[in-house]
Structures are given as C-alpha cells and as structure tokens.
Structure 1
Amino acid sequence: MNLLIELLAFAVAIGVLVVVHEYGHYSVARLCGVKVLRFSIGFGKPLFQWVSPKTGTEWTIAALPLGGYVKMLDERETGGAPIPAEALPHAFNRQSVWRRFAIVAAGPVANFLLAIVLFALVFATGVTEPAAVVAAPTPNTPAALAGFDGGETIVAVRAENAGESERVRSWSDLRWKLLGAAFDHKRVVLSAKDAHGTSDFQLDLRGVTEKDVDDDFMSRLGFEPGGGKLTVAGVQPGSAAQKAGLAVGDRLRAINGIPTDNATAFIAYVKSHAGTPVTLQVERGGQALGKLEDVRIVPQSQRDDATGQQIGRIGAELATQVPSIDVRYGPVESLQLGARRTWDLAVYSVRMFGRMIVGEASLKNLSGPVTIADYAGKSARLGPSAFLSFLALVSISLGVLNLLPIPVLDGGHLLYYLVEAVTGKVVSDRWQLVFQRAGLACIVALSAIALFNDLARLIHF
C-alpha cells in the first residue's frame, strides 16, 4: 500500500511540475507570436493526442512521464523542408534574442511562481509545527556554549550588532533562520523566554562548515525540540530497561539529575554510559509533578556497527511529544513569506551546488527519482500541507537545475543568448554541438551520482 501511495504521489508531483514548467514556455511563446507545434507531457510513444482547432497545437501525453517538452516552429528543425513565407514571422529562430531569452526563461520562472503560490497556500491555510522550545543541549555544542539550559522558547533572532529582530514562530522557522546565518558564517543573537523572563543568547555560527549543513544541522548546533514529554513506548524482553522495571507509559523526567524531554539527548547520554549505572527519574500512572520514582539502570554495552565502538543501550523504545503551535498568516503576508521562502531555498540550492562542485560539500546531497518518490509518499501521508511544501521544494529544485549554465538545459540556451546579445553574433552550430555533448555528459554524470545516492540510501552503505 505504501508503495502505491509513493508511486501515485510521485506521478502527481512530476506531472504537476512538468505541466507548469512547459506551460511557462508555451504561454510566453504564444505571447511572443511563436507558433507552438506540440505540447508533450512525457516522452516516447503517444498515449493520447488532441489538436487544438484554434491554435493548431498538438497536445500529447506520452508513455514515459519523466519530463516533457514544447516544440515550436523553427527553421533549424524542419529536416530541410521549407516553411511557408507567411509562417516565417512565427518561427522561434526568427524572434529577437530577448524574446527567445524570455521564452526559454519562462519555464524555470513558472516553477518559482508555482513554489510561491504553494508556500502561500500552506502559510494561509495554517500548519501545525513544533514550537521553538529547546531541549537541554549536548555539552560543548554551539547551543550549550551560548548558555541554553533547556526549556527556553526562542522568540526572535537578529544578526549581532546589526539589523532588526525577526520573529521566530516555530521550530521550522528557527531552522531556516539559523541555516541562512550559518551559510554566512555569522554570530546571531537569539531572544528566548523562560520562567524568569526574556534573555538574549549569542550563538556563534562562524565555525559551521558547509559539510555540517545537512539534515542533522540543528542537532550539530545542539538544538533539539524540547519542552515535551519523553515516555517509554516499548520495552525489549531481557533488556536493561526490563530488568530495571521500566514499563510502557513511564514518563522520563531526568537522567542522573539532568532534566530530559528529548529522545536524542537521552539516547546520546545513555550511549556514553555503557556499563555505568545511571539513575532515572520516572513519573508513573499519571502522578502529579513532584511524585517521582528513582530507577537505577545499567546500560548494556554493545558494539556500534557504524563506529565499531562500545556504546550503552537500555532496550527501550521512546516517544517524544513536543509542544506544537498553529502557524497561520494573512493573504498578503502569506504571499510575501512564500516569495521569501522560495528565494531563500533557491539561493541555498545554488550555493550548495556550487560548493559541491568545488568540493566543500558532499555529493551525497544529490538525490534522484527514488528519493523523490520516497519523500513524495511520506509527505502525502502526512497531509496536504506537507505534500504542498514538498511540491514547492521540488519545483524550486527543478527551476534552479534548469537555470544552470549547462548546454541541453534551459540555462545553457540562456547563456548562448547572452553571448549573442553581447557580441551580436549567434553561437555557431559547431560550438553548440560541442557544448551540447559536454552538457549531456554532465547531466549523465549528475544523474548517475544521484541514482547511486538513492541506492546507497536504500541499502544503507
């Protein structure tokens, strides 16, 4: 069933993105007076065809749905057959360089506009997200060095000694703001509330490298969602947890006197205490705060397959219920935030790709169709907001990818037109063929790396 959901979500995502991208080309071509011969969704054998009596455009759905194209009237693609004189003004190659530039750029631009609309819908309809409450940070992480103890709610962020404070509404909002500051290697000031009032914390992000900017970015900084309930969801037979008397439903309040409300920090502490007794403060049976039991437990020493080192395990499955917040904006603010989020993600994608080229970021960040299908299915199961956000993210990635100055992509053609605009001369067919072969080699290499990463994630090697 999960596979069916993934395939269906993937098909919907790719279908929507391809239609929007190609319709961008189509609509601007029509505005410029260019005749569009075919609008195809997919490649290969046509499954469905329809010719518009008004425009003469052939609308096609083909067998291979991974892509699409818009075929325009062009003297270079007629196979030597002449074009009637009355149709020549409507040929793509007869248009001015700036009209051709606009037609080609319209595809990626349409993807960015789609992302703005999708993000705006998410912001306007509202989404439930974890609140920006931090758990007790791991020692010596940037969060710990900034002075966070755990339990603080971050409400604003600003650059050190400059700029106005930006409101932090949720954990996701906090992550994006810190991500931007980390890329710029800045020190920022975080305003946070706790039981004693509001305090400022200086967070130093200058030591964060590009390799640190991944899915574990917040954890590397020492930030984990906190303020929630950490409970035992399961106990393995014969484990240290069972021997100590832990039971499903027990709420873990502290470990060796350190308050705990986050599974990640709790597991890290247990791992570092293999064979060493620790004392858990446990709340049972819905007892009121203050009526706690002390449970002494000795984490069993086991070999970690990833590092080869001995780590501690207690054999308990944990569940964290963190406080959440409903984030909702007005129509105008939603569009503004949608445009800003799209811009931030596009810039982030370009910078990340550039750092992968120069070796400052791992090529493991590239993902292919398998990973996209996996995330499409996961986001679809989470609900409309998650799926729309995923769709916006992939739309931005598609737009950025197509703007890369690689021949065979839209960006390669735009580069040709810029050269033509500056020099007044069209790039020769000979050089276009050379660049096209090089560009095709780049695309094949990138696709191979992305597919390898997909397979590596599937089989975990």
Structure 2
Amino acid sequence: MIETPGLPLTLLAFVLVIGPLVFVHEMGHYLAARWFGVKSEAFSIGFGREIAGWTDKRGTRWKVGWLPLGGYVRFAGDMNAVSQPSPEWLSLPAEERGKTFQAKPVWQRAIIVAAGPIVNFAIAMVILGGFAMAFGDTRTPPVVGKVVQGSAAERAGLQAGDRITRLGDRDIAIFEDMLSYTRIHPGEATQVVFERGGQQRTSPVTIGVDQQRDRFGNSYRIGMLGIARGERVTVPVSLLEAPVIAVRRTGEIVSMMVETIGQIISGRRSVKELGGPLSIAKVSGEQITLGPEAFVFLIALVSINLGFINLLPVPMLDGGHLLFYAIEALRRRPLGPEAQEWAFRGGLAAILSLMLLVTFNDLGNFGLWRSLARLIG
C-alpha cells in the first residue's frame, strides 16, 4: 500500500527544510560582509512581495517574501547584476562608497561570496558528526559473506571469504564503499579486484540492476552485486573523531554528486532523474513521516546539495562570481562589464532552462503527464 504524507504536512516539511537552510546560507554572506565592513541593505528569505519585515538600527531591511524558494542579501552598492562600478556608485560620498561591496578588494569579495556555501557544508558536517557520535561509525570489512545465486557477483566468480579491494576506478576500504559505488552504477560493465587465499585476482563484472519501489510509490534503479556483507562492526565515535568522520562522509556525498552529474552529461544516466523543488518538497514530506532522524539527515543532504550547486562555476550562482574574481585576481583587473553582462545572461538562461526541465520531470513523477494523456486519449 502506497502511503502519502498529505499536502499540508508536505508543505510544512518543505518549509522546515528549505527555510532554515536558505537562512543560514544567506547569513553566511551577511556575516562575512559585516566582518569586512560592507553594509547590507536587505536580507530576504523568499522572493516576491514582502509579507513581513523590519528594519534594524544598521539600516538593513529583514523581510520574508511570499515565495519560499530561496533568498538573498543585497549589499550597498549592488546597483547592477555584475557588481561593477557605475556612475551612480562613483557619485556616492567617499565614506558611504567605502562600505559598498565593490569597494572591497577581490579577496574579501571572494570570501563574502564563498561564505554562504561554506556555511551549508558546515551545517551538514555538524549533523553528520552528531549522527556519528549518537550511532557510532559502521566499518564493515569488504569481505564477501555470501554470494546470491544468479547474481552479478556469481557471474564474476566471487566466492564467500573473498576480500574486495577495488571496484571500477574506486579503491574499497570498507563494505560501504562498495555499496555506494554499485548503487549509482546499475548495469555498468567494469572490473572487480579481490583477494583470495593471499593472491590478488581481477574479474570483469556487470553490475546488476534492481528496480525498487518504496512505500510512497517512488521507483528507483539500484545497482547491486548480489553479495551479503560479513560481520558488521560499529565502533563508538569520540568528540575528536566526529569532525573527521563528518568531513569524510560529506566528501563521499559530494563525490557521488559529481559522479552522478558526469553520468548525466555523458548520457549514462537519464536527465529524467533530475529533480527540483517539487521533488524536494515530496521527499521532505515522506522523510518527516519516517521520524526525526530521517528528516534531519535529509536536511544535511539538502544542505550539501545547496552548497555544492552554488559553487558550480555558473554565472548567477556563487561559483560564477568566484570564477570572475579568480580571473580578476590573475589579470589584475576585472573582466569588462559587457563580457560579464553576457555571461550572466547566459547563466540566467541556463538556470531557467534547468528549472523548466526539473519542473517538467517533477510533474511527470507526480503522474501529471500520464493523467493528461489518458484525458486526451
């Protein structure tokens, strides 16, 4: 039976995930700017018409927009999309101009821009480190406990007791390394390196495909070798070890994202698997019904996603700004306003196209296109 959390709970869960993460992201920009003496004119959570807000003693307008799909900090002097000096900026009094974003050296501007994604990664690491301390760290040796009959592992000649050391281009240190690799490579032909009787062997293997459906009706293609793990070892994690584990797990998640994007670009994975805000809302509603641990872990994953996506070198995103600052640092002068303007237009077009694509995918996953086809037919 398919379970659904209902629209009100889904919307509440979505706001509880996106709202705080957008807030801490923009707060990263705000605090870094304040540290370097840049005045912030507005701090907004959400876009569109203001539904609530106030102005603090520093002149910053704190407000909430009616569309909770993002947010922004507007710094003093941001008079154009590329933050380039303009006649209006040059006409400001020297003291006021010194508090604007453009007046700061390139390294300070880079830190202000990078602070948002950095805070997103930091929040995720705090959550993952807390989970490690609460539940321990699982370190199962990559030893085959049992081979499933008819599986990819059996066809590759693996046997119980074999110790897997490498799968494809990834070294395997623990059993979980193998699981994370196989899950995102369904149907892919590769090689497995393993030890048997003190000797190293290599065998070709085509990772199996398991079509799974969860209790919410979502369908997934999962890669599987078809082997059971040996004895699982969970060790306690100290306060000093927790940050190391958190960084490692965050790195693993980012690595998986990079690999998945590479698969989509190369055509090995369908663009239909890309999801947007509607998918996040749907998953948020599902995870909140599974308990606080599942929901908080989702917040960590979404926070990593926000940090990672914002660092992509696409104009309009934080990574695009950082790319321009890197060029400015190398050239000792910024790119011309016209070049930056065209780059930002291209970045905006790319982002809008991506939003249309993921929204189309989300509506398809919700069954809208099938319903319309049945009505038309």
Instruction: Indicate the TM-score class for this superposition, using the shorter chain for normalisation.
Output: 0.7 to 0.9
Query: Does 2:49 correspond to 1:25?
Result: no
User: Pick from 228, 245, 254: which aligns with 1:346?
Assistant: 254
Q: Which amino acid aligns with 1:452?
A: F
User: Pick from 76, 80, 98: which aligns with 2:79?
Assistant: 76
Q: Which amino acid aligns with 1:74?
A: G
Counting matched residue pairs gives 346
Residue matched to 1:7: 11
Report deviation, 1:46: 1.4
Question: Whole-Å Cα distance in 1 between the matches of residues 360 and 199 of structure 2?
Answer: 45
Write out aligned runs for 1:244-255 (5 A): none
TM-score by structure 1 length?
A: 0.65
Question: Whole-Å Cα distance in 2 between the matches of residues 428 and 51 of structure 1?
Answer: 35
Residue matched to 1:296: none
Q: Which amino acid aligns with 2:17?
A: A
Q: Which amino acid aligns with 1:166?
A: A
Residue matched to 1:99: 108
Question: Whole-Å Cα distance in 2 between the matches of residues 328 and 434 of structure 1?
Answer: 53
| Partners of 2:49 and 2:65 within 8 A in 1 | yes
Q: Which amino acid aligns with 1:158?
A: T
| Partners of 2:189 and 2:207 within 8 A in 1 | no
Residue matched to 1:441: 349
Q: Which amino acid aligns with 1:217?
A: I
Q: Which amino acid aligns with 1:376?
A: S
Q: Cα 1:143–1:16, aligned 2, differ >3 Å: closer, same or farther?
A: farther
Report deviation, 1:388: 1.8
Q: Cα 1:89–1:359, aligned 2, differ >3 Å: closer, same or farther?
A: same
| Partners of 1:119 and 1:388 within 8 A in 2 | no
| Partners of 2:156 and 2:204 within 8 A in 1 | no
SS in 1 for 2:69: strand
SS in 1 for 2:350: helix
Report deviation, 1:21: 1.0
| Partners of 1:159 and 1:188 within 8 A in 2 | yes
Q: Cα 1:413–1:362, aligned 2, differ >3 Å: closer, same or farther?
A: same
Percent identity, aligned pairs only, is 33
Question: Whole-Å Cα distance in 2 between the matches of residues 180 and 444 of structure 1?
Answer: 27
Write out per-residue CA displacement over residues 371-423 of structure 1, whole angstroms, 9 at most, x where no aligned residue: 11121122212222211221111111111111111111111111111111111
Report deviation, 1:85: 2.0
Residue matched to 1:124: 133
- Cα RMSD between the aligned structures? 3.9
| Partners of 1:41 and 1:61 within 8 A in 2 | yes
Larger radius of gyration: 1
Question: Whole-Å Cα distance in 2 between the matches of residues 455 and 395 of structure 1?
Answer: 23
User: Pick from 360, 365, 369: which aligns with 1:457?
Assistant: 365
| Partners of 1:350 and 1:400 within 8 A in 2 | no
Residue matched to 1:249: none
Report deviation, 1:205: 7.1
TM-score by structure 2 length?
A: 0.78
Question: Whole-Å Cα distance in 1 between the matches of residues 248 and 19 of structure 2?
Answer: 25
Q: Which amino acid aligns with 2:66?
A: A
Structure 2: tracts of 5 or more residues without a match:
81-85, 212-218, 371-377
SS in 2 for 1:331: coil
Report deviation, 1:15: 0.7
Write out aligned runs for 1:358-377 (5 A): 358-377=266-285
User: Pick from 170, 173, 183: which aligns with 1:166?
Assistant: 173
SS in 2 for 1:106: helix
Residue matched to 2:326: 418
Residue matched to 2:119: 110
Report deviation, 1:334: 2.4
| Partners of 1:108 and 1:400 within 8 A in 2 | yes
